[in-house]
Amino acid sequence: MLSEKVKNKYPWVQLAHAPTPLERMNNLSKDYSTGQRDVNLWIKRDDCTGLAMGGNKARQLEFYLGDALDQQADTILTTGAIQSNHVRMTVAAAHKLGMYCEVQLEERVSDRPSAYYQSGNPFLVSMLGAKVHKYPVGEDEEGADRALYQRAEELNQQGRHAYVIPLAPNHAPLGALGYVLVAEELLQQLGQQSLDAVVIASGSGSTHSGLLVGLRALGCNANVYGICVRRNAELQKARMFKRCQEVAQMIGQPDLITESDIIVTDAVLSPGYGRLNDATTEAIYKAGRREGILLDPTYSGKAMAGLFHLLDKKDLNLQGNIVFLHTGGAPGAFGYPELSSLNLEHSSE
């Protein structure tokens, strides 16, 4: 089995509740099926991985923290945006494994109301009790990593053994291995049914590259559509191709991925990372109203908007069993009070 092979080669520690459910979205399937085209829309519930409100990072952290334990680290350092789900789950994972954790929060999204800084993920990070450092810029991945390694050096001089989970793509994509495992989990859940397409948020690309490489390694040729949430399609495509080659190399199948395997669209990215647009707001409302599913403005809501965009194009290649990967992130929605139309102020009467 592929997952056994990967876990034998790379240290792994269990953190996620898995397998996560695979559910059919009955109402949206009906909405988008027409005379010419039948779609079965499925949702893979990686928002339900269980680690401090869940999300895709639990899968990635199983390999990072497995590596940290293997190296006998006692301290974990990582970096992310103010509303980073990765930072929230890293703190939870470190504490669960008895380690000390410090995190760095980057100023990536400008002009946000105070809720963005106080509610949702940063609120949960403070409840989990990590020491927080601020980092003034959000578009300097290597600078953010350098700051982490400097802090690690200081902590090591105090006698700690610090392990850094870096952000920039000049490090082995250990976290992507988590989604190589998910490819196998997903195909097992589908059983005899074909997998025709996967739609997925593409940010750092660990999720996208891991799932794509895993599917190809298992002989599945389904199109994997990456919805850009961080950078434009041209940059993301180049990044993903490189990422996929690295992941394929790590699992011992270096020539597995060709450039034509990389499909990305930035149709719903504007005006940029962590910023709402109409398509995303509508997708968040539609998922809630039609399926009772909660999404967030930065990642899963944009990915869902990307799925609707692809379906609206009436591309006949996109039919059959289509799996939307819910990567989580709903806690981040609390940093976007503009999504709510309610005004239920407490009255003194």
Ligand X SMILES: *Cc1c(COP(=O)(O)O)cnc(C)c1O
Bond preceding residue 113 cis, omega within 30 of 0: no
Active site residue 341: no
Is residue 306 a contact point for ligand X (CB under 6 A)?
no
* Opening angle at CA 76, ends 73 and 77, nearest 5: 135
Contact flag: residue 207 with ligand X (CB under 6 A): yes
**Length of the chain (residues):** 349
205 binds ligand X (CB under 6 A): yes
Partners of residue 104 on adjacent β-strands: 79, 133
> Could you tell me which stretch among 131-139, 262-270, 271-279, 325-333 binds ligand X (CB under 6 A)?
325-333
The neighbour count for residue 219, using CB atoms within 10 Å, is: 7
265 lines the binding site for ligand X (CB under 6 A): no
Q: What's the CA angle centered on 210, arms 204 and 211, to 5 degrees?
A: 115
Query: Is residue 301 a contact residue for ligand X (CB under 6 A)?
Result: no
Of 19-78, which residues contact ligand X (CB under 6 A)? 55-57
φ/ψ region of 311 (left if φ > 0, alpha if ψ in -120 to 50, else beta) reads alpha
Site string for ligand X, 156-195 (x = CB under 6 A): ----------------------------------------
Map residues 124-163 to x or -, x wherever contact with ligand X holds by CB under 6 A. ----------------------------------------
> Does 201 sit near ligand X (CB under 6 A)?
yes
Say how far apart CA 38 and CA 318 lie, in whole Å: 9
Q: Does 104 bind ligand X (CB under 6 A)?
A: no
327 binds ligand X (CB under 6 A): yes
Return the axis-axis angle of helices 121-128 and 85-96, rounded to nearest 10°: 20
Binding residues for ligand X, rule: CB under 6 A, are: 55-57, 85-86, 201-208, 299-300, 327-329
